[in-house]
Amino acid sequence: MSRGYFSHIPPVEFKGVDSDDPLSYRYYDKNRVVLGKTMEEHLRFAVCYWHTFCWDGFDVFGAGTFERPWHTGVLDQDAADHKLDEAFDFFTRLGVPYFCFHDVDVMAAAATPAEHVKNLSVIVDRIEEKMAKTGVKLLWGTANLFSHPRYMAGAATNPDPEVAAFAALQVRHALEATHRLGGANYVLWGGREGYDCGLNTRMGQELDQLGRFLNMVVEHKHKIGFKGTILIEPKPHEPTKHQYDTDVATVYGFLERYGLEKEVRVNIEANHATLAGHSFEHEIQLAIDLGIFGSIDMNRGDPQNGWDTDQFPNDLREITLAVYYILQGGGFSTGGFNFDAKVRRQSIDPEDLFYGHIGAIDLTARALLNAAAMIEDGTLERFKEERYAGWKEGFGAKMLAGDVDLAGAADYALEKNIAPVRKSGRQEFLENYVTKFVK
């Protein structure tokens, strides 16, 4: 039951592309079937709890601007309940199927391990009720191992194992809560798993701690029978100078090193991708090709600013390509599009939370239509198929299969007096092709 913060905003409905109502969907028609599945099934949208309900609009240079009624100064059970009521009211009015949360987002603040367990348990009961009542589901849960001062030097990678023990407590209960609530995934973002100063840090030691911790999480998942996917969310830096889970390629190497590449996948955030010096679609494609693609944190950074701005996405071309690669990779299994995005701190009204989400949802739905049209057309895949055809047979196939050694390949070049005919990569043609579908 809501307390009325959003009560003046009617449920957001699909009104078609010509709608002038800024609180309606123009593209997201959740039951519309595209490539054999409904939009809702393809896109699996989730609202994140932290940015939308916990953040008060503060930044490093200024105090909160939002004045949400549930931000009363102390995060006691009342405030947590109030927040929960409004959150589910928001989910319902927005019409998204999923949400995501950190343990400390939803619960009353706790001072001790015992209080932590208790307060989390109390709110999980209420979340369960809310979910049953509304039909809103949990895309993923996670534990916040970075905001409390105890984690200032890391959680699993802390020089003090007692801190890692506290982290284990949080993860255990967050994972069990996620399991109980039917979550489709469990995420770990290592906000303080990195370093600020190489001079006081043993990187190899800390990586071993992190590898062991992640194995403990995976083992516990199996022990309790959680069927969802364990996901790591890469980020190159911020808050720490260097985060160990830098990007998809780094996480892949880490998983290989600690024997987890079959157990753990990645939750790719757009803004983290660009902070790491990659395009969003690069990270998606790489994760697919390495077999560790899991889920998406949808947002965007500012291409001229160097920190995690977590803005709502609005680049239709970028999201069209993102959806295209995901669909080509088989689409989401347990993952989905979680909006790890926040309205700007000048966007202080309840309406603004709707504008942010509606714009992003509609953009992604539109991107789905574009991507589906490209897939049905097939030009891109045919182009690639033909471009790499030489590796499917003859010398290329043999070399790839390991049937030619270096001397053999060298001799082949010498004997055939090879002078490869270069072919245009057709980049501009292909970019124009995509532009045509971005509509």
Q: List binders of its own copies among 43-102 (CB under 8 A).
A: 57, 59-65
Instruction: Report d(CA 121, CA 123) in Å as an integer.
Output: 6
| The one segment of 30-38, 256-264, 271-279, 400-408 that binds Co ion by CB under 5 A | 271-279
Q: Does 302 bind its own copies (CB under 8 A)?
A: yes
**Residue closer to its own copies, measured from CB, 148 or 180:** 148
- Block residue for tokens 């995420």: 187
Instruction: Report d(CA 251, CA 133) in Å as an integer.
Output: 38
CB of 189 to Co ion, least distance (A): 6
Query: Taking a C-beta distance cutoff of 8 angstroms, is the pair 6, 90 a contact?
Result: yes
Site residues for Co ion, window 35-64 (CB under 5 A)? none
CB of 266 to its own copies, least distance (A): 12
**Residue closer to its own copies, measured from CB, 130 or 300:** 300
Partners of 142 in the beta sheet? 102, 187
- Known binding residue 272? Answer is yes
Instruction: Report d(CA 435, CA 367) in Å as an integer.
Output: 12
Q: Is 102 an annotated catalytic residue? A: yes
Helix 427-437 × helix 379-387 angle, to 10°: 160
Q: Residue 87, Cα to own-chain centre: how many angstroms?
A: 20
**Residue closer to its own copies, measured from CB, 85 or 290:** 290
Partners of 187 in the beta sheet? 142, 231
Q: Which of 85, 105, 245, 362 is catalytic?
A: 105
Question: In b/e form, how buried is each residue of 290-302, taking b as 16+ CB within 10 angstroms?
Answer: bebbbbbbbbbbe
CB of 84 to its own copies, least distance (A): 22
Site residues for its own copies, window 142-181 (CB under 8 A)? 146-153, 158-166, 168-169, 171-173, 175
Written as six digits, the tokens of 329 are 């990779």
| The one segment of 8-16, 89-97, 131-139, 356-364 that binds its own copies by CB under 8 A | 356-364
List of E strands, 135-282: 137-142, 185-188, 194-195, 229-232, 242-243, 264-269
Query: Taking a C-beta distance cutoff of 8 angstroms, is the pair 104, 120 a contact?
Result: no
Question: In b/e form, how buried is each residue of 145-164, taking b as 16+ CB within 10 angstroms?
Answer: bbebeebebbbbbbeeeebb
| The one segment of 81-89, 94-102, 122-130, 431-439 that binds its own copies by CB under 8 A | 431-439
- Known binding residue 403? Answer is no
- Known binding residue 297? Answer is yes
Q: Does 274 bind its own copies (CB under 8 A)?
A: yes
Written as six digits, the tokens of 18 are 């010509």
Site residues for Co ion, window 296-355 (CB under 5 A)? 297, 308, 310, 340
**Residue closer to its own copies, measured from CB, 37 or 317:** 317
Q: Residue 246, Cα to own-chain centre: how many angstroms?
A: 14
Q: Does 306 bind its own copies (CB under 8 A)?
A: yes
- Known binding residue 269? Answer is yes
Name which of Co ion, its own copies, none residue 262 binds, using a CB cut-off of 5 to 8 Å depending on partner kind. none
Name which of its own copies, Co ion, none residue 403 binds, using a CB cut-off of 5 to 8 Å depending on partner kind. none
Annotated catalytic residues are: 102, 105
